[in-house]
């Protein structure tokens, strides 16, 4: 606490000096600057997150609405977001009660919840629209749960496994571990809330629909003949289609007036499976792979501390000035000798000088030895003479008085003075932005500190970042990928067709490969934030693509093209609705004055866009000419050796039926 107050006072003093001396530019940077600037992102993001929430609520309500005031479900859009918010707040409360520490990476948790929770709620709504209106609400709800909750349960399990591995002791990054732990808790409660709270909301709106009540005002909608007597604005607000007005056999098309349903079923499905469109999609995919490969070959691990802090901060100013004027030098490394050694011994002097050789040095020890040589005094003095001259002559000289803070003296019981600890400062001629070179230097000094006769430690505030992030940055992603692959492999024995898991795995690889490549081209390094986003990208891809692929693979009796269209019609609306809400919620994040949120926005945007590209372009085209084949399945039910008999009947005068012709095909 004392050190933090001193550092804060120091920065304030420097800023005051800067104001009174405008010609001098001073950039203070202390050991607590990085932590404070890292947490500052949360404060500057508040109003942008509120804007994001408003936009998502608006888009969710619009996506659940339609012209029919009875079958429209705007409240479900709002209640779906309430469900996600409750899960996020519950997780935050549990983390807080268990003594967990908040950090700015938690800003990504609401967007993780949006991606998973919104698709689950929209999928349930889509399943509701496929049920028959003449059924009881209980029967319709049972069909909704049977149709949508299996896939939602499996994807939730995938989230829990991948983020659970990230939250395990295998992850040595504290911020990543806490983020994954928070995400696991939020996803678990989101699943429970969707089952209970959102399900009950769906039942409530179902009763409103069955009673022909207005979806917003819950007022009974009058019959068309009564509406004709009302004003135009009244008729517009209470437009509904009654079951008596629906011809027999048309009931399944009641919800086709929804804009997105109409767009997919009448236009997009036919267009994307058109023979003339497919070559362009394949060509576009090859271009996608080419650019992704170009970016993948340039991937670099994050080494710049400014990537995880807010923009208008001391860390950014200091880092910018350092890279502009001193980019050929490493950070200032503290070299601390923490035990009493024989500084007066010539062999010890040689060892210390050897350890610091090759660095630009600010060293009291080397300055003192040069001071003795200028006085024509031997550096190999007795202990008492060496110490007395150091205290009474060298440190009293004005040009060397600043070294007093670098030496700690101790007086023993016999009034003998000894140097119990000291420090020096070293700067290496190496690029700070070259993470591998700087990390090798750090490891070399650490190995030397263990094996050398002189016991010392080296430290710089940036070393904490390097140890926790740069040295094993890919560990959380690596572990999560392995866990996801194992889960997909073992679940292959449980699903109806193991080809589903093969397609899911290939899709995840394609999406992750593209995201890594394009985020590199977008100048996003592989740091803690981007790694967490990539872990989420695995689950987001499975969330959106798995239902689509399973519907196609398990389909029988029709052509591939027919089942591609059917899969898009069944699941495409939910994917499109969740994507629109997700993207709208992401856009305010791009305006936050923070490099951390900038990285978060770019990674999440790429994940959403690339997954959407695969769901609505790549998979619908590729699945039309790659396994599984539908022809063999069709032949099993329809053998080739089949006879079709065509009979032409003629009616005689006495009403006797006579077979005129029999044709065998």
- Taking only the tens place, the pLDDT of each residue in 471-497 is 555 565 666 677 667 767 766 665 667
Between 107 and 175, the more confident residue is 107
Does 629 fall in a domain? Answer: no
Q: Which run of H or of E encompasses 245?
A: none
Does 636 fall in a domain? Answer: no
Q: What are phi and psi of 409, to 5 degrees?
A: -100, 155
Our CA dihedral for 478, 483, 486, 491, rounded to 10 degrees, sits at -140
The least confident of 1-15, 179-193, 460-474, 484-498 is 460-474
- pTM over cut 0.85: no
Residue 312 confidence (pLDDT) above 90: no
How many helices (DSSP H) and strands (DSSP E) are in the chain? 26, 7
Tokens of 344: 């007066």
Q: Do 328 and 257 fall into the same domain?
A: no
Does 435 fall in a domain? Answer: yes
- Inter-residue contact 455 to 442 (CB < 8 Å): no
Chain centroid offset of residue 587 CA: 15
Reported as a pLDDT band with limits 50, 70 and 90, residue 250 is very low
Does 494 fall in a domain? Answer: yes
- Taking only the tens place, the pLDDT of each residue in 119-153 is 999 999 999 988 888 889 999 999 999 988 988 99
Q: Do 455 and 531 fall into the same domain?
A: no
Supply the pLDDT for residue 243: 52
The C-alpha atoms of residue 158 and residue 165 are separated, in whole angstroms, by 11
The torsion region of residue 663 among left (phi > 0), alpha (psi -120 to 50) and beta comes to: beta
Tokens of 115: 């991606």
The C-alpha atoms of residue 114 and residue 74 are separated, in whole angstroms, by 17
Q: Which residues pair with 587 in a beta bridge?
A: none
Does 663 fall in a domain? Answer: no
Measured CA to CA in angstroms, residue 21 lies from 13, 26, 322 at distances of: 12, 10, 21
Supply the pLDDT for residue 195: 93
Residues 6+ apart with CB under 8 A from 353: 366
pLDDT (average), residues 554-559: 80
- Taking only the tens place, the pLDDT of each residue in 600-645 is 999 999 999 999 999 999 999 999 887 766 655 444 444 444 444 4
Residue 349 confidence (pLDDT) above 80: yes
Residue 544 confidence (pLDDT) above 60: yes
Supply the pLDDT for residue 47: 92
Q: Do 328 and 221 fall into the same domain?
A: no
Reported as a pLDDT band with limits 50, 70 and 90, residue 467 is low
SS3 for 637-662 is HCCCCCCCEEEEEEECCCCCEEEEEE
Query: For strand 417-427 and strand 645-651, is the pairing parallel, antiparallel, or unpaired?
Result: unpaired
The least confident of 196-210, 336-350, 468-482 is 468-482
Does 640 fall in a domain? Answer: no
Does 335 fall in a domain? Answer: yes
Q: Which residues pair with 662 in a beta bridge?
A: 647
Reported as a pLDDT band with limits 50, 70 and 90, residue 239 is low
Neighbours of 665 (CB within 10 A): 7
Between 327 and 487, the more confident residue is 327
Residue 238 confidence (pLDDT) above 90: no
Q: Do 9 and 127 fall into the same domain?
A: no
Q: Do 321 and 188 fall into the same domain?
A: no
Supply the pLDDT for residue 660: 43
Measured CA to CA in angstroms, residue 316 lies from 34, 175, 346 at distances of: 9, 21, 44
Reported as a pLDDT band with limits 50, 70 and 90, residue 381 is confident
The C-alpha atoms of residue 636 and residue 557 are separated, in whole angstroms, by 9
Percent of the chain residues past pLDDT 90, beyond the cut? 34
Q: Which residues pair with 425 in a beta bridge?
A: 334, 362
Measured CA to CA in angstroms, residue 285 lies from 493, 500, 501, 614 at distances of: 31, 21, 21, 9
Residue 236 confidence (pLDDT) above 80: no
Supply the pLDDT for residue 226: 67
Q: Do 204 and 286 fall into the same domain?
A: yes
Q: Do 240 and 365 fall into the same domain?
A: no
Query: For strand 407-411 and strand 657-664, is the pairing parallel, antiparallel, or unpaired?
Result: unpaired
State the burial class of residue 569 (Cβ atoms within 10 Å of its Cβ: 0-12, 13-18, 19+): middle
State the burial class of residue 28 (Cβ atoms within 10 Å of its Cβ: 0-12, 13-18, 19+): middle
Does 583 fall in a domain? Answer: yes
Tokens of 621: 């085209």
Number of domains in the chain: 3
Tokens of 294: 């170009």
DSSP 374-411: HTT--SS--HHHHHHHIIIIITTSGGGGGGGGGEEEEE
256 three-state secondary structure: helix
DSSP 587-648: GGGGGSSBHHHHHHHHHHHHHHHHHHHIIIIIHHHHTTTSSSPSHHHHHHHS-S----EEEE
Residue 253 confidence (pLDDT) above 70: no
Which of residues 453, 468, 483 is at a domain's end?
468
- Inter-residue contact 394 to 400 (CB < 8 Å): yes
The mean predicted confidence, pLDDT, of the chain is: 82
Q: Do 49 and 175 fall into the same domain?
A: yes
Residue 233 confidence (pLDDT) above 80: no
- Taking only the tens place, the pLDDT of each residue in 426-443 is 888 765 455 666 777 777
Percent of the chain residues past pLDDT 70, beyond the cut? 82
Between 128 and 7, the more confident residue is 128
Q: Do 381 and 284 fall into the same domain?
A: no
DSSP 319-339: HHHHHHH-TTSPPPEEEEE-S
- Inter-residue contact 341 to 454 (CB < 8 Å): yes
Q: Domain range for residue 352?
A: 317-468
The torsion region of residue 662 among left (phi > 0), alpha (psi -120 to 50) and beta comes to: beta
- Taking only the tens place, the pLDDT of each residue in 388-421 is 899 989 999 999 998 998 999 988 777 788 889 9
Between 35 and 172, the more confident residue is 35
Report helix, strand and coil shares of the chain as percent, to nearest 5.
65, 5, 25
- Inter-residue contact 532 to 480 (CB < 8 Å): no
The C-alpha atoms of residue 330 and residue 303 are separated, in whole angstroms, by 12
Rg of the chain over all Cα atoms, to the nearest angstrom: 35
Between 244 and 107, the more confident residue is 107
Q: Do 202 and 273 fall into the same domain?
A: yes
Place of tokens 């929770």: 117
Q: Do 52 and 65 fall into the same domain?
A: yes
Q: Do 112 and 239 fall into the same domain?
A: yes
């Amino acid at each position: 606490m004392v050190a933090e107050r001193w550092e804060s006072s120091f920065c304030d003093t420097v800023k005051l000096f800067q104001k009174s001396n405008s010609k001098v530019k001073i950039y203070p940077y202390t050991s607590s600057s990085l932590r404070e600037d890292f947490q500052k992102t949360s404060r500057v993001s508040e109003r942008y997150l509120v804007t994001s929430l408003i936009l998502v609520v608006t888009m969710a309500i619009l996506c659940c609405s339609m012209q029919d005031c009875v079958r429209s479900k705007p409240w479900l859009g709002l209640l779906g977001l309430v469900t996600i918010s409750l899960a996020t707040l519950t997780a935050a409360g549990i983390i807080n009660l268990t003594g967990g520490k908040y950090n700015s990476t938690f800003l990504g948790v609401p967007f993780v919840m949006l991606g998973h929770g919104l698709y689950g709620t929209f999928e349930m709504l889509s399943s509701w629209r496929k049920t028959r209106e003449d059924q009881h609400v209980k029967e319709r709800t049972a069909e909704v749960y049977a149709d949508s909750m299996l896939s939602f349960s499996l994807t939730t399990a995938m989230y829990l496994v991948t983020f659970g591995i990230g939250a395990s002791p295998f992850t040595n990054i504290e911020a990543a571990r806490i983020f994954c732990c928070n995400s696991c808790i939020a996803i678990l409660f989101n699943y429970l809330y969707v089952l209970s709270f959102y399900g009950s909301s769906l039942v409530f709106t179902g009763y409103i629909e069955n009673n022909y009540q207005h979806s917003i005002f819950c007022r009974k909608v009058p019959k068309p003949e009564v509406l004709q007597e009302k004003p135009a604005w009244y008729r517009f607000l209470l437009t509904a289609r009654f079951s008596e007005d629906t011809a027999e056999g048309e009931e399944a098309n009641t919800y086709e007036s929804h804009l997105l349903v109409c767009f997919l079923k009448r236009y997009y499905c036919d267009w994307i499976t058109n023979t003339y469109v497919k070559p362009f999609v394949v060509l576009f995919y090859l271009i996608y792979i080419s650019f992704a490969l170009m970016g993948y070959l340039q991937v670099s691990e994050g080494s710049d501390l400014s990537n995880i802090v807010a923009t208008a901060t001391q860390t950014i100013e200091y880092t910018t000035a350092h890279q502009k004027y001193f980019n050929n030098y490493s950070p200032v490394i503290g070299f601390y000798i923490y035990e009493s050694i024989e500084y007066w011994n010539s062999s010890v002097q040689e060892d210390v000088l050897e350890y610091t050789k090759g660095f630009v040095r600010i060293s009291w020890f080397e300055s003192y030895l040069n001071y003795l040589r200028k006085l024509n005094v031997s550096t190999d003095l007795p202990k008492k003479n060496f110490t007395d001259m150091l205290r009474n002559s060298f440190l009293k000289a004005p040009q060397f008085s600043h070294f007093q803070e670098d030496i700690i003296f101790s007086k023993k019981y016999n009034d003998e003075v000894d140097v119990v600890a000291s420090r020096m400062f070293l700067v290496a001629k190496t690029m700070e932005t070259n993470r591998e070179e700087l990390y090798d230097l750090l490891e070399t000094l650490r190995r030397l500190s263990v094996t050398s006769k002189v016991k010392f430690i080296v430290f710089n505030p940036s070393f904490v970042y390097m140890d926790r992030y740069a040295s094993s940055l890919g560990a959380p992603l690596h572990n999560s990928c392995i866990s996801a692959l194992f889960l997909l492999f073992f679940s292959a024995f449980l699903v109806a067709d193991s080809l589903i898991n093969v397609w899911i795995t290939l899709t995840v690889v394609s999406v992750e490969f593209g995201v890594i490549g394009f985020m590199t081209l977008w100048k996003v390094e592989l740091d803690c934030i981007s790694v967490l986003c990539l872990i989420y990208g695995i689950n987001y891809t499975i969330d959106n693509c798995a239902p689509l692929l399973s519907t196609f693979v398990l389909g029988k009796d029709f052509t591939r093209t027919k089942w591609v269209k059917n899969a898009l019609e069944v699941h495409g609306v939910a994917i499109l609705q969740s994507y629109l809400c997700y993207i709208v919620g992401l856009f305010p994040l791009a305006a936050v004055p923070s490099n951390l949120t900038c990285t978060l926005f770019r990674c999440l945007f790429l994940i959403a866009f690339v997954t959407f590209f695969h769901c609505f372009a790549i998979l619908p085209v590729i699945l039309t000419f790659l396994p599984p084949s539908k022809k063999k399945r069709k032949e099993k039910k329809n053998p080739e050796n089949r006879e079709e008999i065509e009979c032409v009947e003629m009616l005689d005068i006495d009403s006797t039926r006579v077979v005129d012709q029999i044709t065998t095909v």
